[in-house]
Structure 1
């Protein structure tokens, strides 16, 4: 699932016991980087998987790393490949990602999550450690990056990226879930307060700088963006994160639009899948399963004016080419507006 976890004193605690095997340039864990050997399995609905989709696209890894896309909803067992003909992934030849986890460990005891990297030679999951997956794509897969790929994890900025990202993960990325799945008023109030305290800090930080770290896009921006893209459509109402909308925050809203309008970010967003996932799967929060029609999305295409802060999206690099895997136009009508 996208949010496996438990309730501790009626507050949400995410299960972070991931498979930590890594795919590296030197193959230290037995899985060397190799073009065509692995398949990245994602769902466009999931913010953690969305990170990997963005990074793969920005780095131009489409030819080296194929991608399987699960549907927006899942049952108690796992995500399923219901978007593919016959409900079977055309490369892995399985109907659900759980099958690849069980190929790795027939008694696999933990959450069946996306993103997951699957070894095509065995059909088994190598890792589902979403944070390490993107960092390794950025650092271990460099020989397979496209010409002009941006450096999303510069060695000189690695410590700052992680120091900025840690509270973003704790209070924002995961904080919205702590609000949404709170089992008591006290747990909700605490999560809500911490979420907005940190969003206010980010508002202040981004009022004087275009990106979170350095003068071009880094891993830190990818990590924050996928939460911001889901904020007004889902987290504001469904997760009760409703002090105000993202679109009512000057710097954060401008920052989010700046990234959305950058090739590799907004063109990975499937608003239909996002809303279907949260409103249909979370029956404890939304027992009717009714998916809201709104909010209106046209405002994502409005000018952001962030260029005045300096910097450039790709540093010394170049934008990625057109996306290989297309989000259906009706699932993201903003893209047509941006195209003109």
Structure 2
């Protein structure tokens, strides 16, 4: 990619049209030429934090192959800018693009802790693990300013309710004491996403995420403090990080992770266009090869919405990836397992404190 034309620190390099809108915004070449002649920036590339006020925060997950029953998201959109992120498409429901808008228009749910507490206090609610970040990262840069995730953890601890976390940011260590308190009652499971051991790969795939070194250190620190960690090797992208499965698995096992999970990349909705544009600019020498191999994993398409096959893919390349992951699990995770979280304490604390009678 030409560094003069690239938007620094961003994954997507364009805003795709919103499928729900009749009209779209286009950056014309004559406008870009005008800005260049005048010495002006056509795009200031700033992140905006926009408050939103949903009525609920806990979502029931309907997809049968996602691996969680309930999720909650403190933020919509994610400044990490991971080019492959499946959550990009959801930004269109909020009236934005799945491209640059997803990384630069971050919707902030400041009332999330109050909404969570109200949900847990419902008479009908029975404890089931609620996963923070089923969609976007709860420890993305916005969390440094708003601390919504931390406040939600305090609610989970108050009610002794099980919670899962998915993140790729070492900011989670800021809340280590809270996590340790939850782990004492077997109420916490952490999922750290690590897609590569190469910083060069990390920088182009996930431009505003924490470094691989810090992510591995995060796995180690959490594990040393008896906080169970699963590492997500997700997604595996043929000819980009597919060759790293075994060394990556060994590295996270050595850091104390108790299990790994993986998915094969799929590029649904607008992500196909965003990814195709990105790879032709960042890896022009192997763009066609990568795109064709992704298609080979999904019946000739970049996208795949079929339950049971969409996460693992099909065909020879997907089969090789899945076999390598199975081998890695047998080699580096024998006799290791994530614990089942405790759902027994919640009823005693549902009123906000331990019931004596």
Under a length normalisation based on structure 1, what TM-score does the superposition of the two structures give? Answer: 0.38
Q: Which has the larger share of strand?
A: 2
Under a length normalisation based on structure 2, what TM-score does the superposition of the two structures give? Answer: 0.37
Higher Cα radius of gyration: 2
